[in-house]
Structure 1
Amino acid sequence: MATSKSLLLQNQQLIRATPCRPLAERLSVQTSSFSGLLRIGDGMLSVGKEKKSRAAFALASAVRHLEGSVTKTEGLHFAIVVARFNEVVTRLLLQGALETFKKYSVREADIDVVWVPGSFEIPVAAERLGRLAKYQAIVCIGAV
């Protein structure tokens, strides 16, 4: 069933997994607007709406860079979701995040820190915070 180069058609999209990547072969893409190249661990999963040559996949950008500046932070609210698991690491990462917010003049009153038991709870907490429509950004910190 699985070959060294699997081509799976799911949701009218071609999914091409690189050789010896069983995890990539099991993944499915749910959105139709998705295109480009994704990195999964040391494997690579290429997604496109039509069949492309191997060279086209190699030329696609693996990482998209978004640049900008935050100079006006008045009225912006932020949340930080932090996992307690590996707290020795996550507490230091939290301190770094808070220092960075301070560097960009974000008031402490505009930052809410939410602690969760572990990394599995991070997306649940972030989703619930996102539904509040109170925050302009939600930072998630976890270490496994």
Structure 2
Amino acid sequence: MATALKSLSAHSSKNIQDISARKFAIVVSEWNEEVTESLFSAAYQTLLQHGAKKENIIRKNVPGSFELTLAAQWCAQDESIDAVLCLGCVIQGETRHFDFICDAVAHGITNVGLKFNKPVIFGVLTPDTQQQAMDRAGGKHGNKGDEAAITAVKMLGF
């Protein structure tokens, strides 16, 4: 469903289990920090609201979205980590750089999840403008960080 028709923070309560013993890594890009900090805050609060313990949520920062994949791999190889959330924001610019970064990050995050057979969640915004990013990081379309956390919780209940 198009984002214009749905808040990213609206979700079904199906397939949500007890996550109090689960351990999460949240990898956050420092690039577009205003956006990514909002994504992190929402993801962190959503995990806590669904029963995760503070000591079971680990935050790792990386310089940009491109670095999310390697950091996700480092986190995923830790057998004590049950799910990895990757949070970033790549805003369209004047060159094709956007296309290359978005493609690499999407494929990289997918491959890490498949390699380690655990949820590795794509919480990366790919908007055309800063305003579109803010609309999806706590604005009129909810918060993609909340969606990433719910996705991790639901995948652990699969």
TM-score, structure 2 normalization: 0.47
Secondary structure class of the residue paired with 1:93: helix
SS for the counterpart of 1:135 is coil
Aligned to 1:86: 32
Instruction: Give the alignment partner of residue 126 of structure 1, picking from 72, 80, 86.
Output: 72
Partner of 1:115: helix, strand, or coil?
Answer: strand
Q: Describe the superposition over 1:35-87 as per-residue Cα deviations: whole angstroms up to 9, x where unpaired.
A: xxxxxxxxxxxxxxxxxxxxxxxxxxxxxxxx952331132100000000000
SS in 2 for 1:70: coil
1:93 aligned partner, one-letter code: L
Between 87-96 and 67-76, the greater mean CA deviation after superposition: 67-76
Provide the residue aligned with 1:69 in structure 2. Answer: 15
Once residues 17 and 65 of structure 2 are traced to their aligned partners in structure 1, the CA distance between those partners, rounded to angstroms, is 31
Aligned length: 78
Q: Which of 65, 80, 96 matches 2:42?
A: 96
Gap regions ≥5 residues in structure 2: 1-12, 91-158
Larger fraction in helix: 2
Percent identity over the alignment is 32
Greater C-alpha radius of gyration: 1
CA 68–131 in structure 1, closer or farther in 2 if over 3 Å, else same: farther
2:22–2:56 contact (8 Å) kept in structure 1: yes
- In the aligned structure 2, how far is the partner of 1:117 from the partner of 1:124? 12
Please state whether the residue corresponding to 2:89 is helix, strand or coil: coil
RMSD: 1.4
Moved over 3 A (4+): none
> Which structure's residues are more often strand, by fraction?
1
TM-score (norm 1): 0.51
Distance in 1 of aligned mates of 2:35 and 2:18: 30
